[in-house]
Amino acid sequence: MSHQKSFQYADLLSVLERVVDIMSAPDQYSYPSVFIYGHRATGKSHVVLSIMKDLELPHASVDCVECVSSGLLFHQVLSAFFGPDAAALLPRCPSLSDFVRLYKQMSSNSPATQTRYIILDRAERMRDMDFSLLPALLRLQELVNDNVTVILLSEIVWEKFRPNTGCFEPLLFHFPDYSKGKSLVQILSWDHHPSYTPELYASYINILLGVFFSVCRDLRELRHLAVLNFSKFCEPLEKGEAKESDIHKLWKNIEPHLQRAMQTVYLREVSSVQWEQQQMDEKEATTLRVLSAHAHIELPYYSKFLLIAAYLASFNPARTDRRFFLKSHGKIRKTNFLKKHEKTSNHLLGPKPFPLDRLMAIFYSVVDSRVAPTASIFSQISSLVTLQLLSQVGHDDQLDSPKYKCSVSLDFILAISRCVCVCVRLLDLLALSLVIQSQVVRQERSLFTAVSNLHLL
Amino acid sequence: KNLKCVGFEGTGQYYSNLKSRYGNNIDTCNIAQLLAPSIIDLSKTFYCHLGVNVPDHAMTFRSLCNLLQDSVTPFVVSVHAKECAGVCKQNEMLISYLKSFFTLVCQATLTIRIIDLLQKCTQVSPKRKENLAKNDLPVVVIFKDFEAFNSQVLQDFILICSRYTQELPFVFIFGIATSPSAIQHRLPHSVSSLLCIEVFHSLSCTQHLASVFDKLILNSQFPFKLSSRVIQVLVGIFLYHDFSVQNFVKGLQFSMLEHFNSQPLSVLCCQKHEALLSAKILSKQNVERIRHLPSFMRYVETQEPQEQVRLLTNDEHVKEVCQKLLKNLHTYHKNYYPILQCLHSLTSSLPKFPLGKHIRELHVSCIEKNLWETEEYDSALQLLRILAKDELVAALRSCAEILKSANTKRMQNVLQQLEDFLGRLEALQGKSDSVSKMEYQRTDLFQLQKTLLEKESRRTKRMNPFEVLRSQVIDFIDSLVREYLTPAEFQPLNEVCYYSSSGVLRQRLNVTPRTSIQAALTHPFYYLKNESLKTNTGTISSAAPDLCIVYKLHLECGRLINLYDWLEAYVTVMSAAEDQDTNSEECGKFDSLKHARFIQAVSEMEFLGFVKSTKQKTDHVARLTWGGC
Statement: residue B108 has pLDDT above 60: no
Chain B residue with CA closest to A386: the answer is B148
Which residues, 6+ apart, have CB-to-CB distance to A453 below 8 Å? A414
User: How far, in Å, CA of B400 to CA of B476, rounded?
Assistant: 14
Residue B134: per-residue pLDDT: 42
Evaluated on CA atoms A274, A278, A281, A287, the torsion sign reads positive
Statement: residue B22 has pLDDT above 80: no
- A174, B66, B83, B175 from B91: Cα distances, Å: 34, 22, 11, 19
User: How far, in Å, CA of B311 to CA of A346, rounded?
Assistant: 75
Least confident of A245-259, B221-235, B413-427, B450-464: B450-464
Residue B46: per-residue pLDDT: 56
Taking residues B304-308, report their average pLDDT. 89
Cβ separation of A68 and B243 shorter than 8 Å? no
Report percent pLDDT > 70 for chain B.
72
From chain B, pick out residues whose CB is under 8 angstroms from the CB of A273.
Answer: 29, 32-33, 198
Query: Which residues of A257-322 form beta strands (DSSP E)?
Result: none
Q: Residue B545, Cα to own-chain centre: how many angstroms?
A: 41
Residue A197: per-residue pLDDT: 79
* Min Cα separation A270/chain B (Å): 5
Taking residues B499-517, report their average pLDDT. 86
Residue A247: per-residue pLDDT: 77
Question: pLDDT tier at B440 (50, 70, 90 boundaries)?
Answer: low
Cβ separation of B160 and A397 shorter than 8 Å? no
Cβ separation of A388 and B243 shorter than 8 Å? no
A293 — contact with chain B (CB < 8 Å)? no
Taking residues B87-112, report their average pLDDT. 46
Please tell me which residue, A251 or A97, carries the higher pLDDT value. A97
Phi first, then psi, for residue A59 (nearest 5°) are -150, 155
Q: Residue B438, Cα to own-chain centre: how many angstroms?
A: 57
Chain B residue with CA closest to A40: the answer is B190
Which residues, 6+ apart, have CB-to-CB distance to B124 below 8 Å? B107, B108, B109
Q: Which among B163, B149, B141 is positioned nearest to B75, based on CA atoms? A: B141
Mean residue pLDDT across chain B = 74
Other beta carbons within 10 angstroms of residue A281's beta carbon come to 11
B184 — contact with chain A (CB < 8 Å)? yes
Nearest to A299 among B29, B39, B52 (CB): B52
Which residues, 6+ apart, have CB-to-CB distance to A450 below 8 Å? A410, A411, A414, A434
Cβ separation of B243 and A267 shorter than 8 Å? no
Residue pLDDT, tens place only, B29-47? 222 222 222 223 344 555 5
Statement: residue B607 has pLDDT above 70: yes
Please tell me which residue, A55 or B501, carries the higher pLDDT value. B501
Q: Say if CB A368 and CB A423 are below 8 A apart.
A: yes
User: How far, in Å, CA of B47 to CA of B202, rounded?
Assistant: 10
Phi first, then psi, for residue B618 (nearest 5°) are -70, -35
Question: pLDDT tier at B604 (50, 70, 90 boundaries)?
Answer: very high
Chain B residue with CA closest to A66: the answer is B160
B357 — contact with chain A (CB < 8 Å)? no
Statement: residue A303 has pLDDT above 70: yes
Residue pLDDT, tens place only, A230-243? 877 887 777 777 77
Statement: residue B603 has pLDDT above 90: yes
Residue A188: per-residue pLDDT: 74
Taking residues B46-60, report their average pLDDT. 59
Nearest to A268 among B49, B197, B612 (CB): B197
Nearest to A294 among B148, B180, B237 (CB): B180
Helix (H, G, I), strand (E, B) or coil at A92: coil
Cβ separation of A296 and B177 shorter than 8 Å? no
Taking residues B196-224, report their average pLDDT. 80
Query: Which residues of A352-417 form beta strands (DSSP E)?
Result: 354-355, 390-393, 403-406
B188 — contact with chain A (CB < 8 Å)? no
* Min Cα separation B197/chain A (Å): 5
Q: Which among B279, B374, B372 is positioned nearest to B328, based on CA atoms? A: B279
Cβ separation of B159 and A374 shorter than 8 Å? no
Report percent pLDDT > 70 for chain A.
72
Mean residue pLDDT across chain A = 74
From chain A, pick out residues whose CB is under 8 angstroms from the CB of B515.
Answer: 372-373
- B189, B229, B233, B242, B294 from B505: Cα distances, Å: 49, 10, 8, 16, 21
Which A-chain residues 53-92 have CB contacts (< 8 A) with chain B?
Answer: 63, 65-66, 68-69, 72, 76
Taking residues B210-222, report their average pLDDT. 85
Query: Which residues of B118-271 form beta strands (DSSP E)?
Result: 139-143, 170-176, 195-201, 225-226
Taking residues B488-512, report their average pLDDT. 87
A376 — contact with chain B (CB < 8 Å)? yes
Statement: residue B271 has pLDDT above 70: yes
User: How far, in Å, CA of B339 to CA of B129, rounded?
Assistant: 64
Cβ separation of B241 and A63 shorter than 8 Å? no
User: How far, in Å, CA of A414 to CA of A426, rounded?
Assistant: 11
Taking residues A271-296, report their average pLDDT. 49
Statement: residue A61 has pLDDT above 70: yes
* Min Cα separation B513/chain A (Å): 7
Please tell me which residue, A62 or B444, carries the higher pLDDT value. A62
Cβ separation of A271 and B190 shorter than 8 Å? no
Q: Residue A246, Cα to own-chain centre: how many angstroms?
A: 40
B460 — contact with chain A (CB < 8 Å)? no
Which residues, 6+ apart, have CB-to-CB distance to A290 below 8 Å? A263, A264, A267, A269, A270
Please tell me which residue, B607 or A295, carries the higher pLDDT value. B607
Statement: residue A205 has pLDDT above 80: yes
Please tell me which residue, B627 or B562, carries the higher pLDDT value. B562
Residue B20: per-residue pLDDT: 29
Statement: residue B148 has pLDDT above 50: yes
- DSSP symbols for B293-306: -HHHHHHHHHS-HH
User: How far, in Å, CA of B469 to CA of B425, rounded?
Assistant: 7
Residue A190: per-residue pLDDT: 72
Query: Which residues of A266-359 form beta strands (DSSP E)?
Result: 354-355
Beta bridge partners of B198: B46
Q: Say if CB B469 and CB B351 are below 8 A apart.
A: no
**Amino acid at residue number B299:** Y
User: How far, in Å, CA of A411 to CA of A68, rounded?
Assistant: 40
Cβ separation of A386 and B515 shorter than 8 Å? no
Which residues, 6+ apart, have CB-to-CB distance to A137 below 8 Å? A33, A118, A120, A126, A150
Residue A23: per-residue pLDDT: 66
Cβ separation of B199 and A274 shorter than 8 Å? yes
Residue A10: per-residue pLDDT: 44
User: How far, in Å, CA of B92 to CA of B114, rounded?
Assistant: 8
Least confident of A135-144, B524-533, B536-545: B536-545
Residue pLDDT, tens place only, A79-91? 888 887 887 888 8
Q: Say if CB A19 and CB A173 are below 8 A apart.
A: yes
Q: Which among B2, B47, B8 is positioned nearest to B26, based on CA atoms? A: B47
A3 — contact with chain B (CB < 8 Å)? no
Cβ separation of A298 and B205 shorter than 8 Å? yes
B32 — contact with chain A (CB < 8 Å)? yes
Residue B254: per-residue pLDDT: 92
Taking residues B497-510, report their average pLDDT. 88
- DSSP symbols for B24-71: HHHHHHIIIIIT--SSTT-EEEEEEE--S-HHHHHHHHHHHHHHHHHH
B28 — contact with chain A (CB < 8 Å)? no
CB pairs under 8 A between A and B: 139
> Which value, to the nearest 10 degrees, does the dihedral of the CA atoms of residues A109, A115, A118, A121 take?
-160
From chain B, pick out residues whose CB is under 8 angstroms from the CB of A274.
Answer: 198-199
> Which value, to the nearest 10 degrees, does the dihedral of the CA atoms of residues B341, B347, B349, B351 take?
-160
- A108, A231, A233, A245 from A249: Cα distances, Å: 69, 15, 10, 9
Cβ separation of B179 and A387 shorter than 8 Å? no
pTM: 0.75
User: How far, in Å, CA of A348 to CA of A68, rounded?
Assistant: 38
Statement: residue B10 has pLDDT above 70: no
Cβ separation of A297 and B32 shorter than 8 Å? no
Cβ separation of B163 and A224 shorter than 8 Å? no
Phi first, then psi, for residue A406 (nearest 5°) are -95, 125
